[in-house]
Structure 1
Amino acid sequence: MNIVYVYGRDWPGEKAGISFSTYTGYGIAESDKKNNIEMIFAKNTKKDPEEVLSDYFSLDPISNFNINLLDNSTFFSETTKFYFQALKKIIELNKNKKIDAIITRTVKFLPFLFLLKKLYGLNIFFEAHSFYLDPDLKQEYDRKKEYIYQKLFLPSFDGIICHQSQIKNLYQKYIPESNYATITYGIRTLERVNDIWENQYIGYVGSLYENKGVEDLFKAFKKIEYPGLKLLIIGGRDKRIARFENLARNLNIEDRVEITGWVDRGKVDDYLKKVKIGVVPVRDTFHGRYLTCPTKIFNYFSHGIPVVGSDLPTVKEVVTDKCGLFYKDGNIDDLTKKINKLLDSKELFYNCSDNIMEIAKNLYFKNRGKKFIDFIESVSN
């Protein structure tokens, strides 16, 4: 199949969607050499895309996976310029070789895809990571344009791909007649260090925004008293790092906390090899309860790391009771208790880790890519 994937963000970049979409496209290409994937992003590098794939994403270039970077610099709206350039690029690609399907996760690009469908009869699929169809929620988000675009254009598209069942249920309530697939995120590699029980880090991967629940993890860690145990924060930038360094000092745990700052994907794996327990402190917000599929879960799964996560359906759907423990969001004592429970039982720890290693075998991006193809083929005209 000849597939185009459009995402209107800078590539490479720290947005989780950049890694999500890049690995998705790569997985589709890996699943079958007959699948040709054209990725379209906004340009954010002077390096050759193959060099970025290797250095930033730890991926080997393959002939049927292509990165198209569009120059987005302008005195006017960068996003608008990107959309018109992407439209032109897709028309050009379709002339060279008939496109079988277009996938996007960019809501504001939907009108352009609607036009392409009308003009060329192309199959269009929306990969859902946001939700604006509820007229009350659109007031909360202040995203009237996104609400209109999803309401007007999604019903005419060929399918909606969701990364977990909570967001799928939301879309089905408002667009029940559409075709749906639930295809969760995946892993690139699977490797557990032989002596993972001896690792001396509680780990967190991701950004340090206030709504991420990381402050709760710091406060819980202060209550944990295991000799040599440290807290490893993989990620973070500038002022946010300074904020959490100050928090560590205020809690008198600064000598037990390490913050790496933002690192390339390959280096994330190097740090994760030191982690014993991974924490997913998702907040109980609309986004946390219904929309997210935390990629940090799959970072931990890639290394067989047991998980302690918020007791929310978006976390429990992937982790399940077989792979970790759950705590009530905002309850520091409960978070502390669940981390201690894993630290206190080698049997429970390895039971979770072994289950992860078994489940993760079916989560490779290659397998995920095949599910995308199977769904597209099943609903395409």
Structure 2
Amino acid sequence: MSHTKVTENTPPQAELDAFRELQRLAYQAAGDVAAGLEPGVTEREAARRIRVHLEAHGVQDWFHTPFAWFGDRTAFRGFRAPPQYFPTRRALEEGMPFILDCAPVRDGCVADIGYSGYLGDNPLHDRLMDDLRAHRRLIVERVRAGDTLQDVYRAVDALIRDQGYDNRHRVYPGRVIAHRVGRVRSRLPRAVVAGFGIRSLQTLVGDLVVERAHHRSPLWADGDVSAHPATPGMWAVEPHIGFRDIGVKFEEILVVTGDDAYWLDDDLPHVRRWDGPPALIGAVRARVPADTPLFTERFAPAPIVGGAPFEVRLGHDGPVLSVPAGETALEAVRRVRPETPYSCRQGFCGTCRVRLLAGVPDHRDRPTGGSPRGEGFALCVSRAREGERLVVDL
């Protein structure tokens, strides 16, 4: 889901990389804190640990400070007033679900994430998390199709009902399922008031004024103010579903271009849960004899391992594209040649293979059925040494 077409409103790649890095850092902080939770830890203590972790890694400000919700508070049951959203002295117990949520700001970039888990054993929580996967797919497909934000919200609501759950993001202030994010633009001093950074709020209010002048909103809800397609840029999206006293959600950045949409990062904890952890694939491979072919299939590209930045030139006299360490050549090429075909994104099918005209490649594809690689270069997985420039026939 990470192919793109850039428009004048799409953030430049360097900026997307910075937002992706901060989002991963926020998820890493939540995951590290979750791994250390034990009976007796309170919501306030869990939130404090996330804040300490992130500030130790360069976070200077907040869109909002960390939240933690335990037990039935994960489903926002009975929430009516803003103070109820803030961490309490509720202590974690065995089998209890939890949600950790934080929105750090670093070097002007913003992340807003939601991490769901539980302590001990909770099969019902697992079921809800598995069913949440369909919402991630639905949202990007409907936004990509050009549906209005109002219609996408209602489609998510319908799916929640079909699954037998109830919509918990409707309990959020303004009933929002998402909000626009971008670089924080403010000259105010860094300060937090009622859990929210005043610099981030000033930026959001400024966006709200501009968008409302165009009969749009940077807040994505189910009202008529959201009866427009998603405006290009980045949106922090957080579908939140509940069943009885359990609530689960994820929150991550959706990038919207002039005619496309994609999730900023497919290497996040909830996505790895759904697509199968690399560790499991590695364990299976370790048990297969070395001389026996083993092919695995993922529903998203595998994380890039040992990648280094390099360049790709399209033809002998075409543009030179920079490929960052955490990105594939296919992603870089499709930003300027969106018609470039692809399929598996794993180096099997050969759909994105192009003729290599010059340069020394690091071939990482695995052609199936004994098909020859020849002079082909698989844009989806193959790379080059750091600083190397490849020339491909495009």
User: TM-score scaled by structure 2?
Assistant: 0.30
User: TM-score scaled by structure 1?
Assistant: 0.30
Question: Which of the two has greater helix per residue?
Answer: 1
Question: Which of the two has greater strand per residue?
Answer: 2
